Structures are given as C-alpha cells and as structure tokens.
Amino acid sequence: MTASAPVSVPVPVLPPGVDPAWLPPAVFRPLGTRRVQVSGSGPLVETVYGEVVHACDRFGGTAVRGTAAAPGVPYDVVLAVGEDGGPDPLGSEGFALERSGGVTRVTGGGPAGLLYGLFHLVRLGEAAFRGGRPREAHRPALALRMLDHWDNVAVHPVMGQVERGYAGGSLFWRDGLARSAPGELARVRWYGRLLAACGVNAVAVNNVNVHRTEARLLTDRVGEVAALADALRPYGIRTHLAVSFAAPVTLGGLPTADPAHGAVADWWAETTARVYAAVPDFGGYVVKADSEGQPGPFAYGRSHADGANLLAGALAPYGGTVHWRAFVYDHRQDWRDRSTDRARAACDHFAPLDGEFAPNAVLQVKHGPLDFQTREPVSPVIGAMPRTRLAVEIQATQEYTGQQRHVCWLGPMWSEVLRFRPGGEEGPGVGDLARGGGLVAVSNAGDDPFWTGHPLAQANLYAVGRLGWRPDADPRAVLREWIEMAFVPGAGADPERLRDGLHAVLDGSWRTYEKYTAPLGAGFMVQPGHHYGPSVDGYEYSRWGTYHFADRDGVGVDRSRATGTGFAGQYAKPWAEVYESAATCPDELLLFFHHVPYAHVLRSGDTVIQHIYDTHFDGVAEAEEARRVWAGLAGLVDPARHARAAERYEEQVRCAREWRDHINTYFFRKSGVPDARGRRIH
Ligand code: GCW
C-alpha cells in the first residue's frame, strides 16, 4: 500500500496572550514522544494527522500518514478509521480504544470518531501507553452537543456585543462584522479545537434575540457565517444560526410571515437553499418565537408546531434541524395577579402539541421552568412530551450564578438535572429523554484572554461537552479531567496540593453560591436588568412573573394544585405528589413550591428563618475560605491565571457579604424573628 500524501490540517496558532485552557502544549507530550500512525480519509482525519504532527514536532515523536508502508514498523500508536469488528457499531462519532502488544490502537467509527478518540488519548496521558488495555468502546449518548452564543453582530445599546456575556466581546463578531481576518479566525479555530477536545459538535453563532443587523446573516450576509463555519469545520463543529420568525417580512418584503401562506414557505425554502449553497454542512436554525418581544406564530393565530414545522420543512431537504425554544411566557404580567404562573407557561403552551412537530424539529427546553436560577426543579416539559425530540438548554454563561466574577462550578447542577427521572425511579432520566435533541448550553466564552473571564469558569465550558457525551458522568470525574489537563501540566513539583486546592475551591462552589444568595429555591432576588448582586424586591412588583411573596408571616410561591397555581400538577407521579406537599417537598425547593411561615420546620430540622440566617453566614465563610485556599496556590498556577482569579475572589467575597446582609436584614425586618445564635444582623 502506498501512503497517501501528508496533507495535514495545521493546528491553529494560539494568538499571543491567550490562555490555552485545557489544551496546554504539555498535554500532548505523552502522544508526541511516540511513533504514531494515522490512517483513513476525510478532512477530519487530516485534522487528526495535523494534531499528531504538531505534537510529534514539538516532543520528538514520529507521525506517519497512511496505512503501514513497511509492514512490521513498530508503531506505538495506531489511529485508524473504520468499524473494528466489536460487538456494536461505533457510529460516526464513536471510537474504540485498546492496547496490546505494546501498541495503543484507536479506531474511529468515522473520521469524527477518530478526532474524539485522539482527544481521549490526550486526556488519558501516559496511562494510554502503559500495560495492556482491553477494548473499550466510547460513543456519545447525545448526538448533539451544542453551544448557543448570544452574540450580537453589532453592539446592542443595552446588551452590548454579547447578551449576558461576561468574558469580553464576541469570538465571532466585532463592531458589526464577522471577525474574518486571519489572526481572528485562528482564534475561532482554536475555540473549535477546545470544543472538540471536550466533545461539543455544534455552535449557534448569533443571539436568539435577533436584531436587525443579525437578521441579515440569513440572507445577504450569509458569507460571514460561511467564514466562521469554515473555521469551525476542521474540528467537527457544525454551524447553526438564530433567525427571526418575521424574516419573510423584514428581509423578504412579504406582507406576512404566516406559516399557512405558500409564499412564506417558498421564501424560507429559497433562503435556506442559499444558506446551504454557502455552508453545505449547515446545522440549522435556532428560533426564539413569541418570547420576550420576538415575533412568532401567535400573531397569525398559528401554533408553535405550525411555526417550527414551517422552518423544519425548509431545512429537511438538506438534513438540517430547527431548534425551537420553549421559552414562551407572558412577560407583561400584573404582579397583583396571583393566579398566573410563569413557571407553568412552557408546559401549558407546548405539552398539548406533543406529537405535532416534524421529525427534524427539536424543542429546546430550558432545564428549569423559570430561567436559569441557582436552584429550580427540572422543567415539567421534559417529562411531558414523549413524542417530541427534546433538547435540554443549560446556561454556561453565569447570568444568575455570579457572572463569572464568582466561582460557581455548575457540573453538579447540570448533572442533577440530567440524572433526574421525571417519571420516577423506574423511568428514563433527563439525559435519556434528550437523546433525540441533545444538550445545548448558552456559551460563557468570549474574546477575553482566559476565554471565560474567570479562569475557573472554563470548567463549566468543558463540562458542557463531557456531559453531553455522557449525561450520567460523575461531575467530579469531569472536573478532575479538566484539572489534569488545564492545571496539572504546569504544576511543577506539587501536583497533589494543586489538585486538592482546586477541588476544595470548586467542588462545592455552586452550593456555596446558593447559600449566600436566594434561599430554598426562591429565585430572582437580583438587581433588575443586569441581574448581578442582591435586590430582594427587585422583581417583586414588576411585570416579569418572578415573585417570592415575602410578607411578615412567611415567604414562597404556592404552586400546589390544592391551594396554589397548580404548577406541581404538571409533573407526573411521583413528583406531582412529592412537590404538592410542604411536608415532602425537598428543602432546597420549598419556597419554589410553597408559601410557608418563617417558623415552618424544614426536613433538616431547622426553621425556615434560621436556615436563611445560617446558610448566609456559612456561605460567606465558605467564600472567604475559598479565597484563602486560592491564595495558597500561588506558585502552582500560571501567574496570570492566578492573579485574575485572585482579583475576582476579592469581588466574590465583597458581593457575598452584600448578599448575606441584604437577605438576612430583609427577612429579619419582615419577620421580626431574631437569629437564634445572636449574630449581628443589620
Ligand atoms: O435569561 C433570560 C435572559 C435574556 C435571554 C433570555 C432567553 C437571550 O435574561 O437575556 O435572552 O433569557 O433565554 O431568551
């Protein structure tokens, strides 16, 4: 056999000053010191070969492209594409790994599988090249692992370049244009590389709130989308676009966007054909319709299935998918009206449509019924639509969890969501129910040198891909992987102290954040607009449907069927019953489901009011302790990373104290109940 020409796709150059995140050069050392053969064909195989060449050039190994030119050449590592004859097909993104006779063999079910197999080797490090290893097959549980960027092309007067972005500007757009200069595209390619290394395979490049400039990405500006897609494609990432339901009117000049009008369907068909001409592997559309002012099918008396199916029809000939968001609710509510419940809205709107969506329409559901609060129950929609392809949407950008100024490792929250079983212990988990649609996260990345503002927020981005790949993964193991890749290679002599320190500051950080912010599942005690810092009544008398109803006697929202909004009844058994009664409702969700007196005794044995005081003192103490532990890691962590996080810990501790004092003082003044431990409350 002749070796094919070595046409490796070069590894992109990391722009100066940009943090390598979980791909510092040293993670490639174990691979790069060996003799590695890469075979198979297709662009992604050339990417794999490019990675191997890069690693071997740096660390002294040998990269060979093609099938064995000289039989008997003692390769240490063989990377090949094709089914390996194992019991189950690997599928295009799966791979098998085994080691025998001194050779580590990775077989990708397809080129993408080989790419994921390569990064798996990188994760394993030296362990991949020692002893024997029986065949293991790895396949992604969810076919789609996606990041949605809420990035505006042009700077929005209120929301800026990235809506809810806490990591600088957009990676894709700057001042109204795609970042298509070579150096900038290298960064986009690097982003794709990071995403492939954690298992992400799709990116939506613009905000779901589609403003005027952004809308045109669908039509005359699709070339800019194509440039970004070209940069992401070598790492197996398909590009998606958020579009406006009103585009036939605003861009096409039609008098209507009504799904029932043939001219509207024709417009979508023609427009979509042009998109595919520019981006042949285009992933599809993301749509926020009839939500927070975005146009949608309600204007024409049509259902959301009608709307989604209109776009699905245009995408179907090309294998594209429409991601239709279920975030539909009345954002002009009267706070005096206690019968309307925003938490109910998604289920009320969508559950009756189960079975009506086209095969290439995915309903994208926020994981909780409200809006990415620190603690919410799992959205009842996820258990209520067995005949619909569902994607679960999580928020990596920390809009309500400290905005990347606070450390808040979200792996444990997402894992709880993905492992939750809407039909009880015997039924499928959320991770299983999302197989048809996938896991979608609002990205927390931007053009910040650390990608995510807070360097430790990189862990959340990493976890999106890994939990999409394996929704039942232990989040601690995911965190460990990230630590091993992102930190240990630079740790010098004391990696054990570094590991312990990072686990100490990250493992429990979500619960710490929960302790010093809104208690027991009460949400939205944040400052209106930007959502950072405490304001207990900030949304209490507003139109957004996000209330806690605190008075002198008690706090919480009665969402029971018996006496409240009936939201608890949107769940199947056993959850409908568990949530219905304050006696069985889990403590951490008590105020989400019930309005209770301050003296109500939690399952923990504490009263609600004492729990509020205690957790707020504890949460601040934990944040202070994390700051201390982090300070002690100086010298083991890259100085720039260390300094950035140290600076943010100052802000986290300041803000945590602010939260503690607002919340404790507010509830002390409302209830008049003193702290049983006599601490100072202002
Ligand atoms: O969480 C809310 C945000 C909005 C966002 C919206 C959504 C993109 O405050 O900024 O809009 O959710 O998910 O559509």
Q: Mean of the pLDDT values across residues 399-428?
A: 98
d(CA 68, CA 298): 61
Atom of ligand 1 at shortest range from CA of 366: 13
* Residues 248, 381: Cα–Cα separation, whole Å: 30
**Alpha-carbon torsion, ordered 475, 479, 484, 486, to 10 deg:** 140
> Which of 162, 214, 367, 371 gets mutated to test ligand 1 (max ligand atoms within 8 A of its CB)?
371
* Residues within a 6 A CB radius of ligand 1: 150, 163-164, 208-209, 288, 327, 371-372, 399
This model's pTM is above 0.85: yes
pLDDT in tens, 286-299: 999 999 999 999 99
DSSP string, 417-464: HHH--TT-TTS--HHHHTTTTEEEEE----SSTTSSSSGGGHHHHHHH
d(CA 362, CA 435): 11
Sign, CA dihedral 627-633-635-638, equals negative
Nearest-CA residue for atom 1 of ligand 1: 371
At 255, list the tokens: 């008098």
How far apart are the C-alpha atoms of 264 and 256, rounded to whole Å? 7
At 177, list the tokens: 């244009």
Question: How many whole angstroms separate alpha carbon 141 and alpha carbon 93?
Answer: 10
Q: What is the mean pLDDT of residues 446-458?
A: 98
Spatial separation of the C-alpha atoms in residues 451 and 134, rounded to whole Å = 37
Q: How confident is the model at residue 1 (pLDDT cuts 50, 70, 90)?
A: very low
User: Length of the chain, please?
Assistant: 682
- Closest ligand 1 atom, residue 208 Cα: 8
366 forms beta bridges with 393
Q: How far is the CA of 539 from the centre of ligand 1 (A)?
A: 15
Distance set, CA 85 to CA 38, 143, 166, 646 (Å): 19, 22, 47, 51
pLDDT value at residue 42? 94
**Position 182 pLDDT exceeds 90:** no
Give SS3 for 84. Answer: coil
Structure tokens at 205: 């490049």
Domains located in the chain, CATH noted:
25-138 (3.30.379.10), 145-331+338-454 (3.20.20.80), 514-557+595-671 (3.90.1330.10)
> 327 CA to middle of ligand 1, Å?
9
Q: b or e along 156-194 (b: 16 or more beta carbons within 10 Å of the residue's beta carbon)?
A: beebebbbbbbbbbbbbbbeeebbbeeebbbbbbbbbbb
Ligand 1 pocket test: pick from 161, 209, 532 the residue with the most ligand atoms within 8 Å of its Cβ. Answer: 209
- pLDDT, position 4: 46
What's the confidence (pLDDT) of residue 2? 36
Judged by average pLDDT, the poorest of 63-77, 442-456, 520-534, 551-565 is: 63-77
Q: Are 218 and 286 in contact (CB under 8 A)?
A: no
Q: Are 171 and 447 in contact (CB under 8 A)?
A: yes
Cα angle value 451/456/460 (rounded, 5°): 75
Asked if residue 447 lies in contact with residue 17, where contact means CB atoms within 8 angstroms, the answer is no
Omega cis (within 30) before 574: yes
What is the rounded distance in angstroms from the CA atom of residue 460 to the CA atom of residue 408?
9
Residue closest by Cα to atom 11 of ligand 1: 209
CA of 114 to the centre of ligand 1 (A): 36
Quote the DSSP letter at residue 11. P
Work out the angle between the directed axes of helices 111-124 and 43-59 (0-180°, nearest 10).
30
End-to-end CA distance of the chain: 80
Binned at pLDDT 50, 70 and 90, residue 682 comes out as confident
- Sign of torsion over alpha carbons 247, 315, 195, 474: positive
Q: Across all residues in the chain, what is the average pLDDT? A: 96
On whether the CB atoms of residues 386 and 354 are closer than 8 A, the answer is yes
Q: Using 50, 70 and 90 to split pLDDT, how confident is the model at 9?
A: confident
165 Cα to the center of ligand 1, angstroms: 11
Cα 629 to averaged position of ligand 1 atoms, centre (Å): 34
Give residue 183's pLDDT. Answer: 86
Question: Which pLDDT score, from 0 to 100, does residue 71 have?
Answer: 56
Distance from Cα 658 to the centre of ligand 1, integer Å? 25
Burial of 17 (0-12, 13-18, 19+ CB in 10 A): exposed
In this prediction, residue 68 carries a pLDDT of 58
All residues at 6 or more sequence positions from 247 whose CB lies less than 8 Å from its CB, including other chains: 215, 218, 219, 257, 267, 271
Residue 475: other Cβ atoms inside 10 A: 23
Say how far apart CA 336 and CA 331 lie, in whole Å.
14
Cα separation of 312 and 61, whole Å?
48
At residue 61, φ and ψ (nearest 5 deg) are: -85, -170
Cα(119)–Cα(121) distance, integer angstroms: 5
Specify the higher pLDDT residue, 619 or 180: 619
- Ligand 1 closest atom vs CA 395: 1
pLDDT average, residue stretch 147-156: 96
Catalytically active residues are 292, 371, 399
Q: What is the chain's percent helix, strand, coil content, to nearest 5?
A: 40, 15, 45
Atom of ligand 1 nearest to the CA of 163: 10
Under the banding of pLDDT at 50, 70 and 90, the label for residue 529 is: very high
Instruction: State residue 574 phi and psi, 5-degree precision.
Output: -85, -5
pLDDT in tens, 357-377: 999 999 999 999 999 999 999
pLDDT of residue 393: 98
User: Helix (H, G, I), strand (E, B), or coil: what is residue 321?
Assistant: strand
Closest residue by Cα to atom 12, ligand 1, is: 371
Q: State mean pLDDT over 272-287.
A: 98
Helices (H), 127-261: 182-198, 212-215, 222-232, 247-250
More reliable by pLDDT, 7 or 650 = 650
Helix axes 509-516 and 639-671, enclosed angle (nearest 10): 40
